[in-house]
């Protein structure tokens, strides 16, 4: 924030919010009916396309409870896919050992043995899928980042292919924000990508929803390849727009943080239930009885349908 509290023009979070709010939704009421939010991710059914975020180190904000466990339990109650971020095996193991379907996102550590060790551990402890957040390779001084004392490093297609080949679990590349990286993710054998700017790590980053249609088009013919999105999703309407532009499922992070930190599992259940209800309402208003009917034709931007050529 600058002195007058206005966001900097380079702030990808503000740019993303503005883009999300510039997209409008077209009504289609005749013949419409109530909707189902059921979806299938990597062959498993979930009750909603909203997913938990890959969070970490939440003890910095909530010292009395294990907030990562709190949201994991909310994922179970709501039938959602859970995600977790950076953490040593003992911390993440506690979550995996609940048996709740969880994607573990591993950091792009310079210590590659650590990556392989976390892959093997997660598979043994029943992870649903694995990932690596490529958007945390660089710090903001142009060097490889040091995250909680751990050095990160560059990740080549060959490195990523080696991680993919080290596990039977689906592997997701998190932090893709270009067609180039999406195609490289396909090349390395990943089963999916999460289109994200990781809460605005890169200044002037393209809003995920702006580039999502091009990415989805580029990977459309890759069988079983899933495209997820996160970054600034804060309502059922934001989820609707994400699905309409091609996402299979949508991560919600900071928007549920106040509820998580104040009221734990109950707070998250209440927050996500509200978003589910808003999504279901919008599906009713737009004549979409199922998630697959949410199409780009329902969105408008700058006074015209987004799907118009
Ligand atoms: C406190 C916090 C911790 C995070 N830790 C991780 C992490 O360890 N690994 C990761 O891939 N992303 C991490 N993220 C990024 C989120 O997974 C997500 O990509 C980002 O916050 C954008 O989504 P949002 O706008 O819904 O919060 C973290 C975000 C926050 C706010």
- Interval between CA 85 and ligand 1 midpoint (Å): 7
Exactly one of 57, 125, 197, 198 is catalytic; name it: 198
Q: According to the model, what pLDDT value does residue 1 have? A: 45
Q: Where are the domains of the chain?
A: 34-293
CA of 252 to the centre of ligand 1 (A): 9
Q: Which atom, in ligand 1's list, is nearest to the CA of 105?
A: 11
Q: Which CATH superfamily is domain 34-293 in?
A: Aldolase class I (3.20.20.70)
Q: Is the model's pLDDT at 2 over the cut of 60?
A: no
Residue owning the nearest CA to atom 23 of ligand 1: 231
- Position 245 scores a pLDDT of 98
For the cut 70, the answer to whether the pLDDT of residue 309 exceeds it is no
CA of 56 from ligand 1 middle (Å) equals: 7
Question: pLDDT category, 6, cuts 50, 70, 90?
Answer: confident
Ligand 1 residue neighbourhood (C-beta within 6 Å): 53-56, 85-86, 105, 133, 174, 196, 198-199, 230-233, 251-255
Per-residue confidence band for 5, with pLDDT thresholds at 50, 70 and 90: confident
pLDDT in tens, 217-266: 999 999 999 999 999 999 999 999 999 999 999 999 999 999 999 999 99
What average pLDDT does range 100-115 have in this prediction? Answer: 98
199 is catalytic: no
Q: Which tens digit of pLDDT belongs to each residue from 171-185?
A: 999 999 999 999 999
3-class secondary structure per residue, the chain: CCCCCCCCCCCHHHHHHHHHHCEEECCCCCCCCCCCCCEEECCEEECCCEECCCECCHHHCCCCCCHHHHHHHHHHHHCCCEEECCCCHHHHHHHHCCCCCEEEEECCECCHHHHHHHHHHHHHCCCCEEEEEHHHCECCCCCECEECCEEECCCCHHHHHHHHHCCCCCEEEEEECCHHHHHHHHHCCCCEEEECCCCCCCCCCCCHHHHHHHHHHHHCCCCCCEEEECCCCCCHHHHHHHHHCCCCEEECCHHHHHHHHHHHHHHHHHHHHHHHHHHHHHHHHCCCCCHHHCCHHHEEECCEECCCC
């Amino acid at each position: 924030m600058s002195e007058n509290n206005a966001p900097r023009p380079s702030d990808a979070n503000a740019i993303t919010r503005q883009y999300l709010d510039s997209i409008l939704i077209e009504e289609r009421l005749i013949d419409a009916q109530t909707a189902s939010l059921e979806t299938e991710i990597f062959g498993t059914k979930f009750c909603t396309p909203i997913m938990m975020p890959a969070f970490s180190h939440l003890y910095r904000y909530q010292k009395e409870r294990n907030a990562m466990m709190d949201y994991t339990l909310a994922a179970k109650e709501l039938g959602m896919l859970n995600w977790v971020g950076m953490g040593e095996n003992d911390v993440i193991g506690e979550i995996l050992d609940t048996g709740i379907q969880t994607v573990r996102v591993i950091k792009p550590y310079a210590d590659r043995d650590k990556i392989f060790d976390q892959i093997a551990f997660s598979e043994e402890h029943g992870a649903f899928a694995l990932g690596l957040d490529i958007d945390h390779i660089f710090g903001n001084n142009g060097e490889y980042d040091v995250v909680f004392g751990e050095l990160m490093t560059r990740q080549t297609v060959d490195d990523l292919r080696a991680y993919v080949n080290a596990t039977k679990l689906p592997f997701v590349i998190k932090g893709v924000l270009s067609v180039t990286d999406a195609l490289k993710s396909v090349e390395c054998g990943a089963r999916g990508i999460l289109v994200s700017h990781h809460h605005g790590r890169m200044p002037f980053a393209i809003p995920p929803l702006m580039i999502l249609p091009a990415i989805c088009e580029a990977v459309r013919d890759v069988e079983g390849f899933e495209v997820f999105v996160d970054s600034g999703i804060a309502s059922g309407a934001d989820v609707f727009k994400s699905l309409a532009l091609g996402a299979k499922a949508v991560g919600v992070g900071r928007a549920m943080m106040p509820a998580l930190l104040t009221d734990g599992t109950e707070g998250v259940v209440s927050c996500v239930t509200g978003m589910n209800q808003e999504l279901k309402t919008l599906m009713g208003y737009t004549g979409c009885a199922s998630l697959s009917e949410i199409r780009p034709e329902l969105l408008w931007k700058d006074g015209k349908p987004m799907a118009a050529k």
